[in-house]
Chain A
Amino acid sequence: MSAAKAAVVGLGITELGKVYGRSAPQFGVEAVRLAAADAGLRLDDIDGLIVSGGLSDMISPANAMTLSLATDLGLEDLNLLTVMQGYGSSAAQTVQYAAMAIAAGTAETIAIVWADAPLQERRGGGAAYASQATSTPAGWNAITSTSGALTANNMYALAARRHMDRFGTTSEQLGHIAVAQRDWAVMNPLAQLRDPITLEDHQSSRWISEPFHLLDCCLVSNGGIALIVTSAERAAELAQPAVGVYGWAQAHPGRTGMRNDDFGIVSGAARSGPRALEMAGLGLDEIDIVELYDCYSFTTLITLEDYGFCGKGEGGAFVSEPGMLGPGGKLKLNTGGGQLSSYYMWGMTPLSEAIIQARGQAGERQVEKHDRVLVSGNGGVLDYHGTLVIGTV
């Protein structure tokens, strides 16, 4: 296996979920402070800051995550400062950029922060996303939205339906993913949904956009998560067990809304996964834990196929195999409950759980063998993909 290119030494997680009355930047500031304290660092030890935001950036410019966060944090004389946006692939991308910057000597200790606050009191999460679509009544996206593909729910439903039509994947098979992830979430004190569910619960949950039931769809959460990344050498001096960054890659198929023969069939994971593993010098069979971006149950399924855990089109049968998923299962997948059950911090959801597991700090849900963790980030409608391989040093 290759050497760690950088290390995650701090993790800060604010209160998550239906937390009202705070802006995304306010969550972001708190998350960075928590991450620095977690690492045993002072804020003025930070010489790089990478800022990334979510839906708030699009629906509420005054509530957006911008370069001003450096001022909000009182950070001065930074050697690296930028905003990055790759939607669901942002978190993986920011770690990659930080690792490259550290290796190049651009900066030594970089804070990465993602925060969002789209939820408002007495207003559903779906309404937050729909408001973004209806707020732009002109242009190509407006044409798509008013024609029925109003939110990501609708767009991913089209991807899932295509997979079902091509390979015979069923709603019940997607339900196995939702049930297994909830079983993990039961043991995660950070999870918003901790009551166990059954396959029957999945099947009887209301339709959102066929073939997706409610329990196929992610939560919407307010909150922020930050990381501190530094060199593997410096990491040894700090407070927490270092989590090495061993491999990464990106793949961005694009062509949203245009002719794309792979839509719903193959995602960017098919290219970025093998390249990230090659960089880490690892095979898939050496991965202990898999933390996948799961905006929908289907996203998990297609990513498993594309990373090579099963053959193309075999994902439905794979996730339904008795003893495959959930606590005690053969595949340690989305061990915090994922975006379906724990919290929706875009790509920071799988990444934060990967760090917690690699550190050995997951408590009741800790996976015994946790040296190598494969993490995915997926954005757009299977348009943008980032992969990370992280683990113990």
Chain B
Amino acid sequence: MPLFPITSNAATADYLDGAARGELRVVRDTETDTYLEPRFDASVDPERYERVTASGDGTIVSWSVAHGKGADGPTRTLFGIVELAEGPWLWVELRADEPWEHLGGRAVRVAFEASGPAEEHATLPIFIAT
């Protein structure tokens, strides 16, 4: 699950509101018919750029397991970079059966998870190896 609760702001509102609805939002460049990362500021040219829903499919570009210390002992978090079927990259939490090895190039599918228990805590996309 996400490491700590986060909230939405103006820059991330479309992305996180979409995640709360179960949609993965990205930006489409209508001039070139290509897709851009959700953090791209579509407001710079609203006639050219539109926010759209992506398929939710992707492949793992790179991955790591972060080792830490939690209240209940050692923790491990699987995360990585996913290339969406539409092209953009996302740095996201990953889920995969163990052992966590040779995950580069694996296909993944989006799912959504709340970052915290409160109503204001945002829901985030996570990606599950298929």
Contact = CB atoms under 8 A, between A and B. Distances in A.
B67 A209 contact: yes
A256 to B, nearest CB: 9
Contacts of A143: 6, 12, 15-16, 122, 124
B39 A257 contact: yes
Contacts of A145: 3-4
Contact of B79 (A149, A162, A211): A149
Contacts of B80: 148, 158
Contacts of B16: 143
Interface stretch (A40-48, A131-139, A323-331): A131-139
Interface in A153-186: 153-155, 157-159, 161-162, 165
Contacts of B63: 158, 161
Contact of A158 (B37, B40, B64): B64
B66 A150 contact: yes
A210 interface: yes
Interface stretch (A22-30, A258-266, A300-308): A258-266
Contact of B62 (A134, A137, A161, A259): A161
Contacts of B37: 257-259
Chain A interface SS verdict (over half) = mixed
Given A139-B12, A146-B2, A158-B62, A206 B91 contact: no
Most A CB contacts (10 A, CB to CB) among B16, B78, B91 go to B91
B88 A258 contact: yes
Contacts of A257: 37, 39, 89, 91
Contacts of B4: 134, 137, 145-146
A142 interface: yes
A147 interface: yes
Interface string B1-39: 011111111011001100000000000000000000101
A299 to B, nearest CB: 15
Interface string B94-130: 1000001000110000000001000000101010000
Contacts of B66: 148, 150, 153-154, 157, 208-209
A137 to B, nearest CB: 5
A144 B94 CA distance: 12
A247 to B, nearest CB: 33
Contacts of A210: 64-65, 67, 100
Contacts of B93: 147-148
Interface in B59-95: 61-67, 77-81, 83, 87-89, 91-94
B6 A258 contact: no
B61 to A, nearest CB: 7
A145 to B, nearest CB: 7
A207 interface: yes
Given A134-B4, A138-B7, A165-B104, A147 B92 contact: yes
Given A206-B67, A207-B65, 6 more contacts: A147-B92, A162-B104, A209-B65, A211-B64, A258-B88, A263-B62
